[in-house]
Chain A
Amino acid sequence: MAARTKLSISAVTFLALILGFLAQTIMKARLKGAQTGRNLLKKKSDALTLRFRQILKKIIETKMLMGEVMREAAFSLAEAKFTAGDFSTTVIQNVNKAQVKIRAKKDNVAGVTLPVFEHYHEGTDSYELTGLARGGEQLAKLKRNYAKAVELLVELASLQTSFVTLDEAIKITNRRVNAIEHVIIPRIERTLAYIITELDEREREEFYRLKKIQEKKKILKEKSEKDLEQRRAAGEVMEPANLLAEEKDEDLLFE
């Protein structure tokens, strides 16, 4: 019964040990996974930030250019009004379909899809004959200036949408990186340390137990030897013949 209990105890501890090692291996694997994940996300964040800065620079340039172009276009409108009179109502009345249209394409940066707008012309110029009697040249210049302004505006629109999308993506990625770095990895590390200390402790327990058992066995052995001595001294013990201690061997016929 004691032996069986001893066996079951050792079986349990053995199982626990095995489980402990398993847990440790699993934790180590998870730590490695978290670290790799964090490195990958950091790289993604860096790539996105780089693209972000580029876009910012481009936006600043385009906005400055936009100011110039719009000023030029507004001035050419004033010139055209001076020569051709007030044609604004004619133009507004004749509007039906858009001549410049936009297509939306997708661009991929480090896994983030950014929209890119591209303009294309469709249809003929329905205002070709406006200002035929006066101011035609000014009107042509005006059309060109405003067409340029519209193209710039489309480009600016793409840049600004990418800017906003990238901003969101960078915030999310950085949040994840920080979460992994400051929450997940310490947690895993702490768990790992705890497992190691537990295992150590169990080992120490095991060691202690073994030592204790050895002591007990020694005590038992000493006790039984003492008993034997006492009984031998009392002459009750029939020692079996010691083959080696005998001087005369009965079985030998001739000496």
Chain B
Amino acid sequence: MLEGAEFYFNVDHGYLEGLVRGCKASLLTQQDYINLVQCETLEDVKIHLQTTDYGNFLANETNPLTVSKIDTEMRKKLCREFEYFRNHSLEPLSTFFTYMTCSYMIDNVILLMNGALQKKSVKEILVKCHPLGRFTEMEAVNIAETPSDLFNAVLVETPLAPFFQDCMSENTLDELNIELLRNKLYKSYLEAFYKFCKNHGDVTAEIMCPILEFEADRRAFIITLNSFGTELSKDDRETLYPTCGKLYPEGLRLLAQAEDFDQMRRVAEHYGVYKPFDGLYCFFLPQVQMNVLAFNRQFHYGVFYAYAKLKEQEMRNIVWIAECISQRHRTKINSYIPIL
């Protein structure tokens, strides 16, 4: 509970906040996007990106240039920046960073568990893990035979341990469907993150909590939408909803009972914020806008979270435009999400 964060914040975190604002200024603008959309080949895209902050990041790539190469290089750049921030951070910013990386760690752990179950080589899976989600015990995964072994030996040391404990006992780890596991882990992660931000109080809570609430509700809606027509039962579905959003508790209960799209829409209309609900894409724009607005306040950790998310969205936009160009399918090339 830090009152008057203006007084204490810059002592520990002022340098990093300045740095991240500088990085934010180098995000691609609308003009850049217009230029990219008009490119004819991937080589043109590379030339355009050289004029932005990306610089010569593709300079060492041999021909032919593919979309996946662009993607990998962009991700490497983001990781470098992120690691730099993280290494220079102090508490409690470091814990904040750890929370941010948890979501990637969850994906990596699911991947590793899958691979271990199917006796695949650990090396190949490690290559495919998301670099932001690295944790030191990753290489030790191959010694585990079953998921419960995995849990006892490896995961207990990671920050993910409490999430696992929330979800289930060790016995159920074996039978559980991988996707359900992933979503359950994500739910506990989101709730823990929310609690952390709220406890921190001050501007951080003011900025981060609405963002996390929106994320929780978005997940609830999308899980409901995607579980129509699958074998996911309503009770199972309810256990996957994060409870830190605006929908808790009434909305979540209603959503769990919803059978089809119209019922969902009625639930959305109850809450004014979600009224213009028309499926998947309507959630992207408000999230991006919220992330951009985070930069309007100073002295809080939300800027780091917002920067990471915006950078990811930008990467997705660039990859989308590059794919449209390389596949010569330009009808939907303008469906990227504009950021600035």
A residues within 8 Å of B by Cβ?
A: 71, 74-75, 78-79, 81-83, 89-90, 93-94, 96, 128-138
Cα A78 to Cα B165 in complex, Å, equals: 36
A132: contacting residue among B125, B128, B227, B335, CB under 8 A: B227
B residues within 8 Å of A by Cβ?
A: 110-111, 114-115, 118, 120, 125, 128, 177-180, 182-183, 186, 219, 222-223, 225-227, 230-232, 240, 279-281, 316, 319-320, 323-324, 327, 329, 332, 335
14 A-B residue pairings within 8 Å (CB atoms): A93-B125, A94-B114, A94-B178, A129-B179, A129-B227, A130-B179, A132-B179, A132-B223, A132-B227, A133-B183, A133-B186, A133-B219, A136-B222, A138-B280
Cα A74 to Cα B114 in complex, Å, equals: 26
CB proximity of B265 to chain A, nearest CB, Å:
15
Cβ contacts under 8 Å, B230 to chain A: 128-129
Cβ contacts under 8 Å, B323 to chain A: 75, 78, 81
Closest to A85 in B: B316
Main secondary structure of the interface of A (DSSP, over half): helix
Given A133-B186, A133-B219, A137-B280, the answer on whether A89 and B179 have CB atoms closer than 8 Å is: no
CB proximity of B224 to chain A, nearest CB, Å:
10
Cα A6 to Cα B303 in complex, Å, equals: 132
On whether the beta carbons of A81 and B114 are closer than 8 Å, the reply is: no
On whether the beta carbons of B183 and A132 are closer than 8 Å, the reply is: yes
CB proximity of B228 to chain A, nearest CB, Å:
9
On whether the beta carbons of B327 and A75 are closer than 8 Å, the reply is: yes
CB proximity of B69 to chain A, nearest CB, Å:
14
Closest to A78 in B: B323
Closest to A94 in B: B114
Cβ contacts under 8 Å, A96 to chain B: 118
B327: contacting residue among A74, A81, A130, A131, CB under 8 A: A74
Cα A90 to Cα B179 in complex, Å, equals: 10
Cβ contacts under 8 Å, B280 to chain A: 83, 134-138
Closest to B228 in A: A136
Closest to B220 in A: A133
CB proximity of A145 to chain B, nearest CB, Å:
13
CB proximity of A143 to chain B, nearest CB, Å:
12
Taking A78-B319, A82-B335, A93-B111 as known contacts, 16 extra A-B pairs with beta carbons closer than 8 A to each other, sorted by chain A number, are: A71-B329, A75-B323, A78-B323, A78-B324, A79-B332, A89-B111, A89-B125, A89-B128, A90-B178, A93-B115, A96-B118, A129-B227, A130-B179, A133-B223, A136-B222, A137-B280
Cβ contacts under 8 Å, A129 to chain B: 177, 179-180, 227, 230, 232
